[in-house]
């Protein structure tokens, strides 16, 4: 996905296993962030930073949605453990990751595998992408977002 593209309609599954669509948020700008795994150090730091700035983001009209391939049950525990006030969606098939272009070849300890590349998309109220953060500062993700969306 690139700046100016409209995000896909299907965003993932909610805690009850229902499909969530971008049209469910008609007329609202979105922050859609993809992260590799619940309860890992980087993903926890990112989620907590966004949590700490969530009221400022929502005051600017944004709805925050986090997406990973973890199960809805894992998301519920993660959100509860860290008091995350925003939506976490499950993408077990990686279809949504692939539609956004964040399911890519990664390398760790000399091993190659497919996985989620941490990426954040910011949209306008028509769900066209206005900003893409490819180099997410996990400890300062909330500040990074506020710096981009401004006043």
Angle between helices 41-52 and 141-149 (to 10 degrees): 50
Q: What is the DSSP string of 69-128?
A: SS-HHHHHHHHHHTT--SEEEE-TT-HHHHHHT-EEEEEETTEEEEEEPPEEEEE-TT-B
Task: Provide the 10 A C-beta neighbour count for residue 83.
Answer: 9
Written as six digits, the tokens of 71 are: 């199960």
Residue 30, SS3 per DSSP? strand
Of 11, 20, 31, 43, the active-site residue reads 43
Stated as kind and residue range, the H or E segment containing 10 is strand 10-13
| 48 given a catalytic annotation | no
- The catalytic residues are 43
């Amino acid at each position: 996905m690139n700046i100016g593209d409209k995000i896909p309609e299907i965003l993932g599954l909610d805690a009850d296993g229902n499909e969530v669509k971008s049209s469910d948020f008609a007329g609202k700008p979105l922050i859609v962030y993809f992260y590799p795994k619940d309860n890992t150090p980087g993903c926890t730091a990112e989620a907590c930073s966004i949590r700490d700035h969530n009221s400022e983001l929502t005051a600017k009209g944004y709805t925050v949605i986090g997406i990973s391939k973890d199960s809805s049950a894992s998301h519920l525990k993660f959100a509860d453990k860290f008091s995350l006030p925003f939506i976490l969606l499950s993408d077990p098939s990686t279809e949504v990751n692939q539609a956004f272009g964040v399911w890519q070849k990664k390398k760790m300890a000399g091993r190659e595998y497919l996985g989620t590349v941490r990426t954040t998309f910011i949209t306008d109220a028509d769900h066209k992408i206005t900003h893409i953060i490819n180099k997410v500062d996990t400890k300062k993700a909330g500040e990074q977002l506020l710096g981009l969306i401004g006043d």
